[in-house]
Amino acid sequence: MKRKRSASHLRLLFVLAVVIPCLALGVIAIRSINREKAFIEMRLQRTIDAELVHMVSLLNADLERINEELVSSLTGKEFSSPQTALAGWKARSGLVGVPFLLSPDLKIVWPSLSGMLSEDERAFLNWNREFITGRAPIPVYQNIALVYKDEITKTQESLDKKMQVVPEAATLAEESPVFSPERARLPVPQEEKTGIRAPKNRVEEVQVEQKAISDFERSPDLRKSVYDQAREKGQQTAQRTVTPGASLSPEKKAPLEESIFISEPQSFSEITQGRENGLIPRFIQNELTLLFWKKDPSGGFIGCVIDGETLRGRLAGLLPNIYTPVRILTILDENGRPLITPDENDRLDWRRPLAAREISEKLPRWEVAAYLSSPDAVASRANLTALILWILVLFLLVAMATGGTYILSTLRSEMLLARQKTTFVANVSHELKTPLTSIRMFAEMLKERRQPDPEKQEKYLDLMVSETERLTRLINNVLDFARMERGERKYEKKRLEVALLCEGLIEGQRVRLEHNGFKVTFQNDLGEAFIEGDEEALKQAILNLLSNAEKYGGEARRIDVDVTGTADSVLINVKDRGIGVSPGEVKKIFQEFYRADDSPTARVRGSGLGLPIALRIIRDHGGDIHYFPRDEGGSVFQIRLPRKKREGQS
Ligand code: ADP
């Protein structure tokens, strides 16, 4: 019972300590194998995203610089002598496309309607007259996270409180694209315009903005609610021109994301109010134009349409190496067209970049975008990693299966051995008791002289000798087994006559066997034949077979022994008419401790050592033991021993 319990404990331990962790490890490994490609792409996406963040900073800084350059390239004489001063301005700065002058009451002073108008000037007047003269407002773009920063901060704070999570603004700030110093320096139109909350401390203010942008980027729910608020207030939201990350799941049709820049219509005077100069983005026939303006001390305005080609060239020139073996980097314009492309990459789907970032409210719908240079390289790298992982997992599973099977089979054979040993002790004690009881009974009868018949007295003595022999054989079996295990058994070999040896042995057992109702026959078909062997050991082996014929001989109670031979061997056959041995068990019965019926209720008791010891002795004499089913039922155990040639025979 105790053994059974400890075995099941061991099994449980094996399952808990080996099977479950291995399975869990296997599942984790298989899952990560399947995600390997996505992992590699995601890692790449992160690295590339950091590069895009840097690009956005560069572009924003350059837009600031463009504004400053245009301001400083003015001479102040533009109103007094427009024709020459504006021509000179245009000649000095390639950025100046179509220059214009406005009077303080927003009347167009230049391009002069009275003069000859160039095609560009005519187009400028056509598309901008209504707007600059204050008759038609245009959409003005702002970063939604900055416009709604107070709401975002409040919502996030209450969420953080609810979840009791310490906000991680500082760490996120490092990763977030819009946290560049350039970005922070950008004017915040809403605040400057309305003056709701003039920043007391700019550093503090920047921190609040950064946190708002970070929270906005992090939380899809927050984003959704802020966009909803904006729409409720009548502000225009727009969709981005690209779907970043779409290349990671090409099978999925990812919906276009909403742009971070929302717009509200404002007139020229509203835009310029309270400011000295600036850039105004305008969409004309779906093409982006940038207007530069500056207030003149006279109260009027000097400005220009920035030359599109120069602007594009200048911004594209800011891109570092656009093509590396890993990624392709470019700027996409308002229509999702790349400003610059590496030669042979026309086949790229520009709307599905690996990563992309919107640039600025001054360049709405423009993005910096990155694409994988060779998506196949990522796939093959992922496949290689997956292959290695598969091999490792398979190795792990094979190791687990072999280890597990080995442990279980060792466990099982240990348990079997333990059980066999227990039954062995019980069986041996029982077997020893039977002859002892007989010996004691006959000895007592003789001592008390209860049997006056001298013939019977003689028979009792014979029985006692036979039982003693049986007892000795049993004890020898046990002792020999231990000796054989240690390889210490020694034989004292001498020349023996086989038939004589067998007959003597049988005659010694005959009284007892016949007393127990057995019919015993002995037949010598061999004549005189010799072997070389240890008499006691060989007797023990034959006695073991006789004892088995007695135990498993069944109701027939018949034992036939014969000796035959060939030129080289002698054969000793011990036959019974008992239950026989089933074919599946023939090999097993020669194993130590093996018993066909080993249950405690087995009718016949035994140690499971008789046959293995007999086999060992016979093999040590250069022979063998075989089992044959006997014709008409029963068993034949045949001992084969090498024949010793007569002296002088070769
Ligand atoms: P034991 O007899 O002590 O159990 P043995 O090693 O002598 O051990 O025999 C092993 C098994 O072989 C026995 O338990 C029995 O099942 C089978 N066996 C041996 N001899 C015979 C036989 N003459 N007839 C049928 N079965 C036998």
Q: Could you tell me the distance, in angstroms and rounded to a whole number, from the CA of residue 606 to the centre of ligand 1? A: 8
Atom number, ligand 1, closest to the C-alpha of residue 608: 8
Mean local confidence (pLDDT), 191-196: 43
Atom number, ligand 1, closest to the C-alpha of residue 549: 23
Q: Could you tell me the distance, in angstroms and rounded to a whole number, from the CA of residue 507 to the centre of ligand 1? A: 23
Q: Is 595 in the pocket of ligand 1 (CB under 6 A)?
A: yes
Q: Which of 161-170, 198-207, 524-533 has the highest mean pLDDT?
A: 524-533
Q: Is 635 in the pocket of ligand 1 (CB under 6 A)?
A: yes
* C-beta of residue 331 within 8 angstroms of C-beta of residue 367: yes
Atom number, ligand 1, closest to the C-alpha of residue 637: 23
Q: Which residue's CA is the nearest one to ligand 1's atom 20?
A: 548
Reply yes or no on whether the pLDDT at 440 is more than 90. Answer: yes
pLDDT at 252: 52
3-class secondary structure, 564? strand
Mean pLDDT of the chain: 84
Instruction: Give the separation between CA 579 and CA 563, rounded to whole angstroms.
Output: 23
pLDDT band at 598 (very low <50, low <70, confident <90, very high): low
Strand partners, 279: 292
Reply yes or no on whether the pLDDT at 192 is more than 50. Answer: no
Q: Is 578 in the pocket of ligand 1 (CB under 6 A)?
A: yes
Q: Is 589 in the pocket of ligand 1 (CB under 6 A)?
A: yes
Range scoring the smallest mean pLDDT among 79-88, 422-431, 631-640: 422-431
Atom number, ligand 1, closest to the C-alpha of residue 576: 23
Q: Which residue's CA is the nearest one to ligand 1's atom 3?
A: 606
pLDDT at 600: 61
pLDDT at 372: 83
3-class secondary structure, 138? strand
- Determine phi and psi for 143, rounding to 5 degrees: -75, 120
Comparing 426 with 641, the larger pLDDT belongs to 641
Helices (H), 138-201: 144-147, 149-163, 169-175, 181-185, 189-194
Comparing 565 with 427, the larger pLDDT belongs to 565
Q: Could you tell me the distance, in angstroms and rounded to a whole number, from the CA of residue 548 to the centre of ligand 1? A: 6
Comparing 622 with 434, the larger pLDDT belongs to 622
Q: Could you tell me the distance, in angstroms and rounded to a whole number, from the CA of residue 626 to the centre of ligand 1? A: 13
pLDDT tens digits, residue range 470-510? 888 888 888 878 787 777 788 999 999 999 999 999 998 89
Atom number, ligand 1, closest to the C-alpha of residue 613: 6
Q: Which of 598, 611, 618, 639 for mutating ligand 1's site (highest number of atoms within 8 Å of CB)?
A: 611
Q: Which of 552, 598, 618, 628 for mutating ligand 1's site (highest number of atoms within 8 Å of CB)?
A: 552
Comparing 114 with 110, the larger pLDDT belongs to 110
CB-side exposure of 511: number of CA atoms within 13 Å?
18
Give Cβ neighbours of residue 226 (< 8 Å, ≥ 6 apart): 144, 145, 148, 151, 152, 216
Q: Which of 548, 561, 597 for mutating ligand 1's site (highest number of atoms within 8 Å of CB)?
A: 548
Reply yes or no on whether the pLDDT at 196 is more than 60. Answer: no
Helix (H), strand (E) at residue 474 = helix 454-486
Q: Is 186 in the pocket of ligand 1 (CB under 6 A)?
A: no
Q: Which domains, and CATH codes, for the chain?
A: 2-49+377-424 (no CATH), 50-70+140-266+319-372 (no CATH), 78-137+267-308 (3.30.450), 489-642 (3.30.565.10)
Q: Is 552 in the pocket of ligand 1 (CB under 6 A)?
A: yes
Q: Is 548 in the pocket of ligand 1 (CB under 6 A)?
A: yes
* C-beta of residue 466 within 8 angstroms of C-beta of residue 509: yes
pLDDT at 218: 83
pLDDT band at 325 (very low <50, low <70, confident <90, very high): confident
Residue 403, both tokens: 């280890």
Q: Could you tell me the distance, in angstroms and rounded to a whole number, from the CA of residue 495 to the centre of ligand 1? A: 30
Rg for the chain (alpha carbons), in Å? 53
Q: Could you tell me the distance, in angstroms and rounded to a whole number, from the CA of residue 607 to the centre of ligand 1? A: 9
